[in-house]
Structure 1
């Protein structure tokens, strides 16, 4: 079957229609996992609610997946002589793919070579490998007051102490270019302060290419390559289903990281790497990023407008990029109760406690994702539903 024939079996791409509304929860890498612990029943209820508009999950827009082009790359990968896409590969990953990643980082000011890159099974594995390298007895890792829940859970599972108050730490986990969930980049003063501590830093760059004002900024890796573990991914800019991320560890630790990687899974899957390498070789990825920034910026502006119209007393800071808006309402209802009530009104969101190291429910906050709703009009309707629910509950 050639690429054209295969494409006929695919759902229409973003050029012809939008995908349906995604489920209320998401895979671990992409955002908070509502389907665990105290929110499990609420998540299941949301997923089963007909017509529910989900602002939860932090998923990329399905309508923006380049399905037909990826289908072509899939076919070409399988037609290559000796078909390396279906064979074992090296633990560090495909050479051409690593060269491409290194080139992108050099454009941002980092002195990186192909052999500095380790391709991982998604960025979550990259964070895990880095955390294992900085972990020690009673290790304390500094995190933002609100941070990516998948990383927080990972650090807890490794027995690391989470510190969000600026006190002494042994390492940092940060998203300097574009933090999740607030979407407010690290200031020059904050960057300098972190680097001045001389502590190791896990730099999660997941959203860096989705800054609304242009290309990704200079990474911390460029300033301190001897102690920064740089994490990247294609999940936000292409699609999460390929599960391709990367890690740039300090060169002195690369061999040790590679041993951990090999022990974990031998290698990142060959087929997704081959598909991705072919796609990047044949498509203008920079132009794709321009389109995505415009698309998500338009979505963010639409949600901001709806919040100002229907919930004018709710406080928020317009995000600098990414998928979501962090909102702080003007009252303090029970978090789980309000989520349950919102689901009854046909809308879901991510509770703020999931993003906090302590799990604190106060001050009351929520993350509203504008990225994956099926239509722009659903942003307005979803906020209207939240407003009606708020008037009853608060």
Structure 2
């Protein structure tokens, strides 16, 4: 089992590196003042440092359930929410609660999910089109997808595609793991209904505060029906008993006093400017990189028309203190690719321009 390429890159970079690699939110947008105020409130409560419920803090789960009811138009109760230590943990506890050995994933797919699937020795199949999905998924197998601003491809399923996927899964009696890490980061503030809105019986919907508040808190969640929650709760207890009590109470206090959607919209507007600036630089200095501007999320994804192996380019770029992620790591069979993913949220405009210029020289 190899380490995640992106985590290795994050270990290797230093203060001199221009990094387009990890999916890092912009630190300048973290609500530090609000969280500091919330932390003072939480520290007055002794139970903030005590053990807590394995399923998660009641009041935090209630607030997350309200997200679904009011934002996704998917009526949800706190009993249908389980708090996880980051949404990354969700992959592990869901798969350990099911007997399925076969998974179907998008091609390309999120590296963190692929790593979680591989370490549990699951058999992975991939697909490019929804028509292919219908032909390869079978009863009680698992379909994993990122429905909005996919990591890495940035693609978003249309409503028609979501309904078709739901129909396929219902017909095949398969499981759905729907990763919604980026669903709220829409540049126009438009939130699509999740696939599980159309297929809820055997579905898990994953959310996280990492992309909308701060990743260092490591708080995510799973939305599923009560029976599925009961099954994964036993697995959760065997791993870490519960997610950090203090961090849950901190987020709960923050949400109590602040309008998180106002904060999310502020982030999205900032990210749209950063995305457009990076895209402008690519079009000007890196014309051989073909891509479409995303409508949300944190990445630009495309392909180099003048090179065959983006991994080789990534290694050369790192020697010049520029980091990006070659698409090879997003394919479960790690096939050679000329595609690449660039994060636009973490670099300032000056470094973004400098990094793209360095890549332009390396690709000539």
TM-score (norm 1): 0.84
- Worse-matched range after superposition: 158-167 or 107-116: 158-167
Q: Residue in 1 aligned with 2:287?
A: 312
Count matched residues: 348
Query: How far is 1:69 from its partner?
Result: 1.7
Distance 2:189 2:240 in 1: 36
> Are the structure 2 counterparts of residues 63 and 252 from structure 1 closer, same or farther at C-alpha, using a change threshold of 3 Å?
same
Query: How far is 1:193 from its partner?
Result: 2.7
* Residues 299, 344 of structure 2: 8 Å contact kept: yes
Query: How far is 1:229 from its partner?
Result: 0.4
Q: Residue in 1 aligned with 2:352?
A: 379
- Taking the TM superposition and a 5 Å limit, the aligned residue runs for 1:15-54 are 33-36=5-8, 47-48=13-14, 51-54=16-19
Q: Residue in 1 aligned with 2:202?
A: 227
In structure 1, runs of 5+ residues without a counterpart are: 1-27
Distance 1:341 1:369 in 2: 18
1:270-292 Cα distance to aligned partner (Å, 9 max, x none)? 00001100011111211101101
> Are the structure 2 counterparts of residues 313 and 335 from structure 1 closer, same or farther at C-alpha, using a change threshold of 3 Å?
closer
Decide which of 119, 125, 130 is 1:163's aligned counterpart.
Answer: 125
For 1:229, what is the secondary structure of its paired residue?
A: strand
Q: Residue in 2 aligned with 1:389?
A: 362
For 1:257, what is the secondary structure of its paired residue?
A: helix
> Are the structure 2 counterparts of residues 147 and 135 from structure 1 closer, same or farther at C-alpha, using a change threshold of 3 Å?
farther
Distance 2:78 2:86 in 1: 18
- Taking the TM superposition and a 5 Å limit, the aligned residue runs for 1:337-376 are 337-362=312-337, 364-373=338-347, 375-376=348-349
> Are the structure 2 counterparts of residues 135 and 360 from structure 1 closer, same or farther at C-alpha, using a change threshold of 3 Å?
farther
Query: How far is 1:333 from its partner?
Result: 4.1
For 1:179, what is the secondary structure of its paired residue?
A: coil
Distance 1:317 1:347 in 2: 22
Does 2:75 match 1:111? Answer: yes
> Are the structure 2 counterparts of residues 134 and 196 from structure 1 closer, same or farther at C-alpha, using a change threshold of 3 Å?
farther
Does 2:54 match 1:91? Answer: yes
Does 2:261 match 1:286? Answer: yes
* Residues 79, 226 of structure 2: 8 Å contact kept: no
Q: For the aligned residues, what is the CA RMSD?
A: 1.7
Distance 1:268 1:309 in 2: 46
Q: Which ranges of 4 or more aligned residues in structure 1 deviate by more than 4 Å? A: none
Query: How far is 1:188 from its partner?
Result: 2.8
- Taking the TM superposition and a 5 Å limit, the aligned residue runs for 1:140-289 are 140-165=102-127, 166=132, 167-169=135-137, 170-197=141-168, 198=170, 199-289=174-264
* Residues 226, 251 of structure 1: 8 Å contact kept: no
Q: Residue in 2 aligned with 1:73?
A: 38
Q: Residue in 2 aligned with 1:15?
A: none
Distance 1:125 1:346 in 2: 31
> Are the structure 2 counterparts of residues 313 and 331 from structure 1 closer, same or farther at C-alpha, using a change threshold of 3 Å?
closer
> Are the structure 2 counterparts of residues 291 and 35 from structure 1 closer, same or farther at C-alpha, using a change threshold of 3 Å?
closer
* Residues 140, 161 of structure 1: 8 Å contact kept: yes
- Taking the TM superposition and a 5 Å limit, the aligned residue runs for 1:322-337 are 322-337=297-312
1:55-112 Cα distance to aligned partner (Å, 9 max, x none)? 11111111111122211111110113xx221111111111110010000111111121
Does 2:23 match 1:58? Answer: yes
Q: Residue in 1 aligned with 2:87?
A: 123
For 2:121, what is the secondary structure of its paired residue?
A: coil
Distance 1:333 1:386 in 2: 15
> Are the structure 2 counterparts of residues 189 and 217 from structure 1 closer, same or farther at C-alpha, using a change threshold of 3 Å?
closer
* Residues 127, 231 of structure 1: 8 Å contact kept: no
- Worse-matched range after superposition: 52-61 or 180-189: 180-189
> Are the structure 2 counterparts of residues 76 and 33 from structure 1 closer, same or farther at C-alpha, using a change threshold of 3 Å?
farther
> Are the structure 2 counterparts of residues 186 and 345 from structure 1 closer, same or farther at C-alpha, using a change threshold of 3 Å?
same
* Residues 109, 219 of structure 1: 8 Å contact kept: no
1:241-264 Cα distance to aligned partner (Å, 9 max, x none)? 111000112322221111111111
Distance 2:57 2:334 in 1: 39
For 1:209, what is the secondary structure of its paired residue?
A: coil
1:144-190 Cα distance to aligned partner (Å, 9 max, x none)? 11111010011111121111133422120011122111211012333
